[in-house]
Structure 1
Amino acid sequence: MRKIILSVIGILLIVLSFLFAKKLIADKHKPKPVKEKVVKTVFTDTVLNGTVQIIIPANGSLVAKRRIELYAEVQGVFKTGSKLFKPGQKYNQDENLIRIDASEHYASVQSSKSNLYNTIAAIMPDLRLDFPEVYQKWQDYLNSFDLSKTTPELPKMTSDKENYFITGRGIVSSYYNVKNLERRLSKYNIKAPFSGILTEALVTEGSLIRSGQKLGEFIDTSVYEMEVALSKSYASLLKVGEAVVLSNLDRTETYKGNVARVNGSIDAATQTITAYIDVKDDTLKEGMYLEARLNAKEEQDVIEIDRNLLLETNEIFIVRDSLLDVIPAKPVYFSDTKVVLKNIPNGTIILKKPVPGAFAGMLVKPFENSVKKADK
């Protein structure tokens, strides 16, 4: 029995060895599979150099072009007016912003004016006798004198004798004392120098105001300006009056402005120059953040492409005989998404969109061949 089992095992080993050898021979003569070449389809453009308008992006916050800080020059109680002194309150030009109780000072003014009138009236008999030629003009001055109105200017003195006589009676000094008091009386009423809106109110009606105290801030809402800092390389390109297009951050609204001023010096720390842009619009508010696009200059014989098409070595891919190659390029301006290039020959076929894993010598197939030229 043992011999039979051993014989069967031997026969099986011989058969398996034969089959394995036959398979090895068959695999040896089987041709190896040929790898299929992968040809990537790419989007291309044909270069046509032209003129590109360089647009400088800038941003900043709006501030009112005309603004004043309100300070008290006199002391007194804040009197209630026709409008509440609150932030957001609008006032027209020459309308009272703040009225301070001036009854005590007003009485002093009236007393000084009365003293001046009495002093002039006391010298009238002497003028009739000693200076009859000037008597009438001083009489006319007294007739026009009204305690309820601003003190009129003294008559012009025509001779040294008249001047000595009038000055010696203390009339000139009394006159200027009255004018000084009247000038101070006007400070009890603070009027709006222009039509605008109150943005800050630090006092309320009925409170005691002290001399030198800040009362609030008042701005003109008809025109705003935005301060932007630009590279010093554009210092010679910015022009006063240059039109500027501004937009909000969402770019849903656009506004028209113009360059109002350009600083004459360059910031030594940042090497930037400051420009100020005026903009008018009823929907604008102080503090709004806007983006501006300034037309700087025009570059000749250039093209504009996406920034991601320019390699770190300042080279770009071109298509030559269905193969990718690289050529040097000279970038002259970078924006957020675009780059302006020089030294790219006309007729050169370049990539329109980046190709993942691209390398020089890569086999490609152009999908579309359009003309790539500068925007005029």
Structure 2
Amino acid sequence: MSRKLSIGLGIALLILAGFGASFMGKNRPPSERNAPGVSIKQVRTLTSRQQDLPSIIEITGRLSARERVELFAEVGGILKEGDRFREGNSFQKGQTMLRVDDEEARLSLLAQKSSLMNQITLMLPDLKTDYPESFPQWAQYLAQFDPAQPLAALPEPVDEREKYFVSARNLYNLFYTIQSQETRLGKYVIKAPFSGVVAEANIKEGTLVRVGQKLGEFFNPYSYELEAAVSLGDLEYLKAGNRVTLRSTNLDGSWQGVVNRISNQIDPNTQTAKVFINTSGRGLREGMYLSGEVAGRALEAVTEIPRALLIDQQAVFVVRDSMLALHPVQPVRYGTETVVVRGIPTGTTLLGQSLVGAYEGMKVAPFQPAAE
């Protein structure tokens, strides 16, 4: 009888213990529930710091010479001088690059000057009688007339009557014809418009030059322009005058540049605008591809974090009392590996790694790696 009583009491105690454990489990706070056998995750953290950051905009583009001209013949004839006009040869500003035979044009000009001189000589006797006050200056003009020198301006008439008197003898027509021929004679010599290098040569000395024929190309190898495409979202941070650091994947070193101008036209397919950057320096050549960074307008009171920490483009995990909590942020600029956001106060402890399965309220064991 006593044995049966002991067994009954034991069973009753076990039932009561089961109910008690169940009741205590249901009334435990959710944050204290942990699945059996699951340990608290140790995670890296980092401390945020608000600061003013320059908006660094990455660009890529191809160099082209800022000064480049195509040379065309405006007169015809045999090329007398042009042996040095070859691709790769350099010329200083004002140095003669090409010379076309101008003998025929020069003789024609001298003939016209001779005709003008003759007309003035024939006019002087009548001028001395009708306009004696103007005779001395015309006589002096004739005395100083040199057909081998550039034509000097005709004496100014003292009144309208003298002007008509001179015009009736065809002097003005001859004068302007000679000026036109003098200008044309200068086109038989092609001089370097700036210090540079021949990029293309299409003619050789001794060959016939035709009017309108392309003779070659000439460019300045000391000043370049880089054309890059910048996304619509980055344009607001750019302005003319921004500094640029450029680099090449094939050469060591870097070059400095300046944003010269920004196009107002947006490419409808890529939603980008063209940005033109002036640069120069040793080692640069036309056609090179360069990449670089533009230091744009400063971003105030922002925090830069790894892109992997951004949740749904609008929040980050912070650690409070060893638990994860979502904190809303406003993304400002996206970089290749980082994102600049607003809304994180200085000193906030952020989850410093990408954590699979992370959720708000998850209990963690934070640690912050020592600064290197």
TM range (shorter): 0.7 to 0.9
Q: CA deviation at 1:40?
A: 5.0
Alignment deviations for residues 119-156 of structure 1 (CA, whole Å, 9 cap, x no partner) = 21222222233322211111211122112111111111
**Aligned partner of residue 132 in structure 1, secondary structure:** coil
Q: Distance in 1 between matches of 2:106 and 2:280?
A: 43
Query: Deviation digits for residues 30-74 of structure 1, max 9, x if unmatched?
Result: xxxx98645554332012322222111112112222221111111
CA contact (8 A) 2:225 2:277 kept: yes
Question: What is the match of residue 359 of structure 1?
Answer: 358
SS of the residue aligned with 1:162?
A: helix
TM-score, normalization by structure 2? 0.81
Alpha-carbon displacement from aligned partner over 1:62-109 (angstroms, at most 9, x marks no partner): 22222211111111122234x511111111111112111111212211
Equivalents in 2 of 1:195, 1:161: separation in Å? 51
Shift of 1:282: 3.3
Letter in structure 2 aligned against 1:286: E
Looking at structure 1, the residues matched to 69 and 251 of structure 2 have their Cα atoms a distance apart, in angstroms, of 32
What is the aligned partner in structure 1 of residue 142 from structure 2? Answer: 142
Asked if the contact 1:225/1:278 (under 8 Å) is kept, the reply is yes
Q: Is the contact made by 2:63 and 2:225 (CA closer than 8 Å) also made in structure 1?
A: yes
Aligned length: 336
Q: 1:370 to 1:298 in 2, by over 3 A?
A: farther
1:197 aligned residue: 197
In the TM superposition, what is the alpha-carbon distance from 1:332 to its structure 2 partner?
Answer: 1.3
Deviation of the 1:350 alpha carbon: 2.0
Residue number in structure 1 paired with 2:10: none
Which amino acid is 1:249 matched to?
T
Contact 1:244/1:258 (<8 A) preserved? yes
Secondary structure in 1 aligned to 2:134? helix
Aligned to 1:52: 53
Q: Which amino acid is 1:65 matched to? A: R
Q: Is the 8 A contact 1:331 1:340 kept in 2?
A: yes
Q: How does 1:71-90 map to 2 (within 5 A)?
A: 71-81=72-82, 84-90=84-90
SS at match of 1:127: helix
Question: Contact 1:45–1:370 (CA<8 Å) still a contact in 2?
Answer: no
> Matches of 2:52 and 2:79 in 1, distance apart?
64
CA distance 1:247–1:211, shift in 2 (3 Å): same
Check conservation: 1:46, 1:370, Cα contact below 8 A.
no
1:294-305 alignment, distance < 5 Å: 294-305=294-305
1:314-325 alignment runs, 5 A limit: 314-325=314-325
Task: Please state whether the residue corresponding to 1:85 is helix, strand or coil.
Answer: coil
Q: Offset at 1:305?
A: 1.4
- Aligned 1:345-356 pairs, distance under 5 A: 345-355=345-355
- Gaps in structure 2 of 5+ consecutive residues: 1-34
Q: Is the 8 A contact 2:84 2:97 kept in 1?
A: no
Q: CA–CA distance in 2 between the matches of 1:365 and 1:50?
A: 28
Judge conservation of contact 1:67–1:218 (CA < 8 Å) in 2.
yes
- Corresponding position: 1:107 with 2:107: yes
Please name the residue that 2:65 is paired with.
64
- 247-256 or 206-215, which moves further after superposition? 247-256
With over 3 angstroms needed to count, the CA separation of the structure-2 counterparts of 1:287 and 1:118, relative to structure 1, is same
- Cα deviation 1:208-258 (Å, max 9, x = unaligned): 221111111111223212222323344454332222222223683222222
Q: Report 1:202-221 matches (<5 A).
A: 202-221=202-221
Q: What corresponds to 1:19 in structure 2?
A: none
1:140-186 CA-to-partner distances (Å, cap 9, x unmatched) read 11122112111111111112222122111111101111111111111
1:123 paired with 2:112, answer no
Cα distance in 1 between the residues matched to 2:124 and 2:183: 28
Paired with 1:364 and 1:252, the residues of 2 have a C-alpha distance of 46
Whether the 8 Å CA contact 1:46–1:369 is kept in 2: the answer is: no
**Residue identity matched to 1:71:** F
Q: Aligned ranges for residues 1-376 of structure 1 at < 5 Å?
A: 37=38, 40-81=41-82, 84-249=84-249, 252-267=252-267, 270-312=270-312, 314-355=314-355, 357-360=356-359, 364-368=364-368
Aligned to 1:3: none
CA distance in 2 between counterparts of 1:38 and 1:146 reads 108
Task: Give the letter for the 1:106 counterpart.
Answer: R
Q: Secondary structure at the match of 1:114?
A: helix
CA RMSD between the two structures: 2.7
Greater displacement, 34-43 / 97-106: 34-43
Cα distance between partner residues in 1 of 2:313 and 2:64: 43
* Matched residue SS, 2:161: helix
Large movers: runs of 4+ above 6 Å: none
Corresponding letter in the other structure for 1:104 = E
- How far has the Cα of 1:313 moved from its partner? 5.3
Q: Report the CA distance between 1:281 and its aligned residue.
A: 1.5
SS at match of 1:166: helix
Secondary structure, aligned partner of 2:158: coil
- Determine if contact 2:78/2:207 at 8 Å carries over to the other structure: yes
